[in-house]
Every structure is written in structure tokens, then in C-alpha cells.
Amino acid sequence: MRVEQIAVFLENKSGRLAEITRILAENDINIRALSVADTADFGILRLIVDKVDRAKEVLRGGGFTVGKTNVVAVEVPDRSGGLAGVLKVVNEAGLNVEYMYAFVNKSGANAVLIFRFDEMDKAIAVLQEKGFVLLTGAQICAL
Amino acid sequence: MIWQEIETLPRAGLESIQLRRLQGLVYRMYDRVLPYRCKMEAAGVKPGDIKSLADLRKLPFTTKDDLRDNYPFGLFAKPMEDVIRVHASSGTTGKSTVVGYTQADIELWASVMARCLTMAGVTRGDMVHNAYGYGLFTGGLGAHYGIEALGATVIPVSGGNSKRQITIMRDFGSTVLLSTPSYALNLADAMIDAGVTPDQLKLRVGIHGAEPWSENMREEVERKLGIKAVDIYGLSEIIGPGVAMECLHTERGMHILEDNFLPEVVDPDTLEPLPYGEAGELVFTTLTKEAFPLIRYRTKDISRLFVEPCGCGRSLIRMEKVTGRTDDMLIIRGVNVFPSQVEHVLVGVEGVEPHYQIEVTRDGNLDVMSVLVEVSEHIFSDEIKVLENLAKKIQAEIKDMLGVTCKVKLVEPRSIQRSEGKAQRVIDRRKI
């Protein structure tokens, strides 16, 4: 129940994000979700794409430093309190969120929350036990 | 004013003193310093072969590597019970350069410093503000003993706490400032902050060395502090400050105290001595030191020698302000930094492969060193804090090892320029 995510190191200079999206577009890779974390000097782009290994390969070929990490995708109803319900469980279980981002799927009924936890196995077990819907990479791409 | 008659001797008289001292030195080195004796034997030269100053070129060179190989005391020519002081400077990969002094060496050092101070017009009536660092660095203590030998009053203020230094300068009536040129500019800024103007001070002359500085910087120091600024040259291997000094005529170069420090300029590639006036690597032989004498020590500083007499009346050879280095050594805020030291730290920090570049800029009067490190997949993380901690760790280890605070900047792979596959390790954007 893990989703593969690609992370790319971004130097803080103009045109880098444009270059990444250009490479992905040229290789017919679709971005399902993304977030950028930044500091004064550098940034990290996190992507969920339909063709993970291909994306990694072409970005590497373009001279980028690319990493592959596992994240958890939780599907919740798109209404107020959706995220709060997940975080309540996470907090009670003593889990730490390293980072998270979210997107709303096409149907508009559900939102997908992407989490990176300090203890991934424990997080998956706790969330499943509480009845949350965890998505696979293939399911995200099919949304 | 001239401190010692020897400074105005006709060349022939000076050269006969130099030869006599050189011959004595070569015998001493051959007898007492085994690593140098081995070098002489390998070169097939005996002490008796030195019959004129021209024979100097028969003698083998001494390099920084020789100092490192014989760390810490292996090249001393006197037993340790005769050594009364050691100093050390930062080394390339952890090993520092250690130098030693006998009682006579300390007295020699004080006398050459006193002669240098005299060249700058300092007399026993002066109040000398010594802002060179005291400690293992030769600057502070070397100057200190010279000021005392001259009979002037020394304020051993050392470096740092600029605000307090301004107060002391004003209240004590300092007339002479000894500091690195960049610190002199720092003090000038601190003066403005403290609302003190040059006419509230009695400063007359500044003696600045231990780092490269330009004519523009000299002009700036003179204007901001309202003083005459002169250049002093020295390196710990030779004695410390007091090897060469500009007189108040400041006519092209510093007078080398060559009755003690015999200079040569050689081609850094062929190692052949070059005629006067040609630029090359500066080489010194210490004629009179006891504990740590050196024959033909390669300084890696690039300079030229001028033998024409100076308007001040001294017949001593002058050396041009050092215009560069034959190696990649950088001087950052007075501290010697070799790129190899930075590389050593990067290799040591787990996972960092040394694809790096050192960029030096000047922010106001202060040197700023930035280390650019390429982020490889090996060290990359999707978490900001991991990368930030890595940058902090590199910064802390460089500070620990070199004593210099730097900025660490993580950059994308292949963003550091490579020429023919080899990275350009240093970009010095300071205008010196």
C-alpha cells in the first residue's frame, strides 16, 4: 500500500521547473500530483507520475539528481474534516509527518492526501486498521 | 631613520657578510639536520663546495612537503632544550607547519622587527597598537617583541572586539597600528559606527601584512584612517613578520633584511634562478637562525627583486608586493586555506563525493568563502531537513578544521564548470 514518488533536487535558479516539465512532457509522462518544498538556496520537487521508472531515467538523463521514495496515499471524502480525521489518528498513534500534500480527483467526490511518515509501516497498519482507504500508484493514475 | 648600519653597506660588503654566514649555515645543516644532509648527499654537494654566493644554486631546495614529512620537529638544528618557543600555522591536511626558536632566535626576530618598524618611522616615543592575533600565529608575538626591542610602548590588543579597540586607540593615543589590511578597514568602519573621526585619534602610520592587498586597498586604508599605510612581509617558516618591509619612500617594494634572509627568485617550473626584475617564485635562505634554519625554502609566493638603491639610503634588495601564488593556496581573512583541506572535509563527511567549488568574494571589507557542493543521488533526500543538516555539518567541519566560517551551497550535478573533465576548484572574485 505504498506509492512510489519521485523527488528531484532543484537549485534555486530560474527555469529549472520548466526544464523538468518539458522533459516529462516530451516523454509522454503524466504528472498526477506534485509539491515543491523550498529553502533560500535550494528546493525539492516531489512528483507522482504514471511512469515512475521512465520518469526517473529521463530526468537523470537531463542531468538532474533524482530519488525514488515511498509515500502513503489516503483517499478521504472531499468535505470539511476530511484531513482532520486522518491527522487525529496519526497524532494519537504518535506518528510524525515529514511532509504532505493533497489533490482533489476528477470526480470531485474525494480528495487524495499524500503523506511521508517517519515510520511508514506503522502508519500503514494504523490507517488500515482505522478503515481508511489507501491507494496504490496504479489506482492514483486511474483516477 | 635607520636602525642598523648594515642596511646601508655597499653591496660588496653586504655580500661578503652573507657568504660567510651562508658557509656557516651549510656546515651546521650538514652536521645537524639529517634530512637536509641526505638531500645534499643526493645532490652530490659538500659544505666545502660553497665558495661564493653564486654557489647557492648548487644547494637543494626545501619545500613545504619537507616540513610536513619531518613534522613536528624533525628539521630543527638545535636540541629541544635549547628551543624556548614554538609557533605553528595551519597545515594542509591536518598537519600544521611547526617552527622553533632559541633565545638567540627570539632576539634576532625582535631585532629584525625593530628594524622594520624603524623603516616605517616608528620610534621609542610611539604608542603601538598591535592588533595582530596573539597565539600560535607568529604575527602577534613577533611584532610584540620587536616593538619592545625598539623601546616603543606596545598595546597587546590582539584581534577582535573592534569597538573596544577604537576606545583604546582614542584614550591611549595610539600612534601606530599593526594589523592585517582587512582588519584595518574593519576598524575604520567601527570608528564610523562609534562616531569617532580620524582627527580624534593620533594614528600616524599603519603597518599591514599577512594577507594580499592592493594599491586600491592601501589608498582606502590611508583615506579612511588618515594614516600612511605600509606593507610588511613575513612567513612563519622564515621567522614570521620581519622578513621584508616597505620604507616610507614606498618606492616599489619592501626592503628584505637580507643580512639574515637571503632571497632568490626562481622559475617555478625549471627552478633556475632568475635575474633581478623578473617575476618568479620567491626563495629564502635563513642565514642566522639557530633552531629552525632553512636553505632555499620555496615560499610559493610570486614576486620580483629590485637591486637599485632606494631613496631612503638603504642598499638592501627590495621585493615587489606579492602578486600571486604558484600553488592554489587562498588567504581568507588572514587564514591560509588550501582547496585540498576543503576536499578532505568533504570526503570525511559521510557520503559526499568531492565535486565542489570554492568561491571567494568580498562583502564590504570581509572575505566570504562559499563552498558549492554538487548533490549526488547518494546524498540526496526528499526531505529538506536532511539536506540542510548535511550543509550545516559540512560548514561546521570546515570551521573546525580550517578555522574559517564559510557558506555551504548545495547545487545540481554538473553545475560546476569543468574544463577538459577537470573541475575548476577555486573562483576568486575578490579584486586584489
Here the CATH number for the domain that contains residue A80 is 3.30.2130.10
Whether A56 has its CB under 8 Å from any CB of chain B: the answer is no
A70 touching B (Cβ < 8 Å): no
Q: Verify that B145 and B230 share a domain, yes or no.
A: yes
Q: Which residue type occupies B149?
A: A
Q: Check whether residue B203 and residue B104 sit in a common domain.
A: yes
Long-range CB contacts (within 8 A, 24+) of B211-215:
B211/B180, B211/B181, B211/B182, B211/B331, B211/B333, B211/B334, B212/B321, B212/B322, B212/B331, B212/B432, B213/B181, B213/B182, B213/B432, B214/B431, B214/B432
Give the E-state strand segments of B156-309 in sequence order: 176-179, 205-208, 228-235, 240-245, 254-256, 261-266, 280-286, 297-303, 305-306
Q: What does chain A come to in residues?
A: 143
The answer on B226 and B242 residing in a single domain is yes
The DSSP element (H or E) to which B419 belongs, if any, is strand B418-419
Residues B152 and B293 in one domain: yes
Q: Are residues A27 and A81 in the same domain?
A: no
Residue B156 has pLDDT above 90, yes or no: yes
Range of the domain at B193: 5-325
Question: Do B63 and B91 belong to one domain?
Answer: yes
- Single out the residue of B81, B88, B87 nearest to residue B102, CA to CA: B81
Given a cut of 80, is residue B186 above it in pLDDT?
yes
Name the nearest CA neighbour of A127 among A56, A54, A72: A72
DSSP class of B316: S
On the question of a cis peptide bond just before residue B263, with omega within 30 degrees of 0, the verdict is: no
Nearest CA to B83 out of B106, B109, B112, B110 is that of B106
Task: Please judge whether A116 and B384 are an interchain contact, meaning their C-beta atoms are less than 8 angstroms apart.
Answer: no
The reply to whether A81 and A128 lie within a common domain is: yes
Query: DSSP for B192-223?
Result: HHTT--GGGS---EEEE-SS---HHHHHHHHH
Comparing CA positions, the residue from B92, B130, B87, B328 lying closest to residue B232 is B130
CA nearest to A72, candidates A138, A8, A117, A132: A117
| Burial category of B47 from C-beta neighbours within 10 Å (exposed 0-12, middle 13-18, buried 19 and up) | middle
Domain boundary pick from A69, A93, A108: A69
Q: What is the pLDDT of residue B352?
A: 66
Q: What is the mean pLDDT of residues B33-57?
A: 97
Instruction: Please give the average per-residue pLDDT across B53-79, as a whole number.
Output: 95
CA B105 to CA A28: how far, in whole Å? 77
What per-residue confidence (pLDDT) applies to B306?
Answer: 95
CA pair distance B255, B311, nearest whole angstrom: 12
Residue B128 has pLDDT above 90, yes or no: yes
In tens, the pLDDT along B193-231 reads 899 999 999 999 999 998 778 787 888 899 999 999 999
How far A143 CA sits from the closest chain B CA (Å)? 25
Q: Which residues in chain B have Cβ-Cβ distances shorter than 8 Å to A65?
A: 375-377, 380, 412-413
The pLDDT, as a whole number, for residue B419 is 54
Mean of pLDDT values over A8-25: 92
Three-state DSSP at A89 gives: helix
For residues A100 and A59, state if they share a domain: no
Instruction: Note whether A65 contacts B375, CB cutoff 8 Å.
Output: yes
Q: What is the mean pLDDT of chain A?
A: 91
Distance CA A64, CA A88 (A): 37
CA distances B235 to A70, B213, B338, B355, Å, are: 57, 16, 16, 32
pTM over 0.80: no
CATH code (residue B347): 3.30.300.30
Distance CA(A119)–CA(B376), nearest Å, equals 25
pLDDT band (50, 70, 90) for residue A109: confident
Cα B225 versus chain centre, distance = 24
* Nearest-angstrom CA–CA distance, B158 and B146: 15
pLDDT confidence tier of residue B337, bands split at 50, 70 and 90: confident
Domain span holding position A131: 70-142
What pLDDT sits at residue B183?
Answer: 87
Characterize the bridge pairing of strands B240-245 and B254-256: antiparallel
Please name the residues in contact with A78: beta carbons below 8 A apart, sequence gap of 6 or more: A104, A108, A109, A110, A111
**From residue B370, how far is each of A92, B367, B408 by CA, in Å?**
44, 10, 6
Return the number of CB contacts < 8 Å for A and B.
54
Asked if the Cβ–Cβ distance from B388 to A39 is below 8 Å, we say yes
Q: In angstroms, rounded to a whole number, what is the distance separating the alpha carbons of residues B400 and B392?
A: 12
More confident residue, B166 or A80: B166
Considering the domain architecture, whether residues B408 and B274 belong to the same structural domain is answered as: no
The mean pLDDT value for B332-359 works out to 80
pLDDT at B335 (0 to 100): 80
Of the ranges A36-50, A85-99, B213-227, B353-367, which one carries the lowest mean pLDDT score?
B353-367
**Cα separations (Å) of A40 from B85, B219, B390?**
48, 37, 15
Instruction: Give the pLDDT score at B353.
Output: 64
Between positions 80 and 139 of A, the ones with CB within 8 A of B are: 98-99, 116
What's residue B91's pLDDT?
A: 54
User: Is B351 in the same domain as B212?
Assistant: no
B321 and B362 belong to one structural domain: no
Choose one of A69, A97, A126: the last residue of a domain.
A69
Q: Map grid coordinates 493533497 to a residue.
A: A102
More confident residue, B23 or B425: B23
Do both A85 and A138 map to the same domain? Answer: yes
pLDDT of residue B250: 67
Q: Which pLDDT value is given to residue B350?
A: 67
In angstroms, the Cα distances linking B296 to B35, B77, B316, B318 are 14, 16, 19, 18
* Domains in chain B, number: 2
Same domain for B287 and B151, yes or no, is yes
Alpha carbons B200 and B402: distance in angstroms, whole number: 38
Same domain, B285 and B353: no
Q: Are B161 and B181 contained in the same domain?
A: yes
Please state the rounded mean pLDDT for residues B175-199: 91
Percent of chain B clearing pLDDT 70 (strictly above): 95
User: CB-based contacts of A49: which residues, under 8 Å, 6+ apart?
Assistant: A6, A24, A29, A30, A31, A32, A55
Please, which pLDDT band fits residue B420 given cuts at 50, 70 and 90? low
Residues B293, B77 contacting (CB under 8 angstroms)? yes
Q: Do A60 and A8 belong to one domain?
A: yes
Query: In terms of pLDDT, which residue wins out, B230 or B334?
Result: B230
pLDDT of residue B426: 86
Residues A114 and A85 in one domain: yes
Beta strand pairing call for B176-179 and B127-130: parallel
| Mean pLDDT calculated for residue range B39-63 | 97
Are residues B155 and B168 in contact, defined by beta-carbon separation less than 8 angstroms? Answer: yes
- The whole-number pLDDT of residue A124 equals 94
Of B303, B325, B347, the domain-final residue: B325
CATH number of the domain enclosing B310: 3.40.50.12780
Whether residues A53 and A81 share a domain: the answer is: no
Q: Which residues of A touch B395 (CB under 8 A)?
A: none
Q: Does A5 touch chain B (CB under 8 A)?
A: yes
In chain A, how many domains are there? 2
> How long is chain B?
432
If asked whether residues A78 and A133 sit together in one domain, one would say yes
A81 in the same domain as A52: no
How many angstroms away from the CA of B189 is the closest CA of chain A? 29
Counting residues of chain B whose pLDDT is more than 90, the rounded percentage is 69
B contact test, residue of A12, A14, A17, A41 with most B CBs within 10 A? A41
pLDDT at residue B93 is higher than 60: no
One domain for residues B134 and B216: yes
* CB proximity A41 to B under 8 Å: yes
